[in-house]
Amino acid sequence: GVPGEPAKMLEYNADTPTGIVETAISQWYWYEDKYGRERDGGAWDQWNFLFEALRDRFAALRLRLPGGGMHFAHTELERTGEDIMNAAVLRDCADQAGWNTTSLLMSEIGWDARLEEFVDMDDQPIQNIFKLYPWEDMMGEEFGSPLATKRPTGWIEPAWKMFLSTKVLGAAMWHLYPGHENLLPSYIDGPREMTDWVKKPLHGREGDNIEIFRAGTGSGRGEHIVQPGRYGPEGYVWQQYTQIPNFPGPDGAPNHPVPGAWVVNGESVGVGIRESDGPVTDYWCRFVPNLIHG
């Protein structure tokens, strides 16, 4: 956040976690290679036990969910490989926790009308599944209607996360806790009294369809940025603009970092930092390892 001011919550992602590869694996190996505890007397550390926390959580779920099988699904529509790699890391966590795991594509999930069960490609009922795919998209698709009456016992993340995965959450929190030092004013009916604001689609991701408006004061020029994308028909939230500090690199190029805190089973278990050239954290941002000096 801004030096000298409390940190501000920009967003909360409750449904489709990505960045697991960078956080749990890449930055940890970077830390071990460069600042491992065998060097420098253990003066350096990293806030990161995401992989272990996910593995332990999958182990705890084995005691609560039926059967010993867990499917892991992602969509083939994501072409960069990001989704399949994130799902693969989560599957590895589940494997280490003792689950019998299977991978499949979202398009390979079928519906057996006779059994009234969701099934995989082998026509086996799906009891437990992690899906790296938004609930709001699932509900509007061909097999979405049976979700209201018949669904696998174990969805990860569960359907109630839909209430938390929308940008409305920021407006709801501001309504419940107006003036809280860690929140930004946010509304669903327009910018109201705000002169500088960020307009966000309720289901937007990776900076798509973000709109930033800054009025400017005195002789200072204002600013108006509009990002392209496919989101917006679902509605918007207007959030007070806050300046993300710039930490230029040695070549003077801009770096606007936004830390993201990972929460597993109600506990913060790691941090990932993304740096962007401008005020919107988008697809082209850089992942930066975190380092703690003891």
**CATH architecture of the region 49-156:** 3-Layer(aba) Sandwich (3.40)
Give the model's pLDDT for residue 40: 57
Q: Max CA-CA distance within the chain?
A: 70
Task: Return d(Cα 148, Cα 195) in angstroms, integer.
Answer: 42
E strands, the chain, are 44-45, 69-74, 100-105, 110-112, 117-119, 128-131, 154-156, 186-187, 196-201, 211-214, 223-226, 236-240, 256-264, 267-276, 286-288, 292-293
pLDDT value at residue 151: 64
Domain residue ranges of the chain, discontinuous segments joined by +: 49-156, 168-240, 257-293
Helices (H), 67-221: 82-96, 135-139, 168-176
pLDDT of residue 217: 62
The runs of H, that is alpha helices, within the chain are 20, 27-35, 50-62, 82-96, 135-139, 168-176
pLDDT, averaged in runs of 10, over the chain (294 residues)? 86 92 96 75 87 98 92 94 96 98 95 90 93 91 81 82 91 97 97 96 92 78 87 95 92 94 95 94 92 83
pLDDT value at residue 205:
86
Let me know: does 90 contact 74? Beta carbons within 8 Å: no
- DSSP 8-state symbol, 266: T
pTM greater than the 0.75 cutoff: yes
Q: Specify the pLDDT at position 147.
A: 84
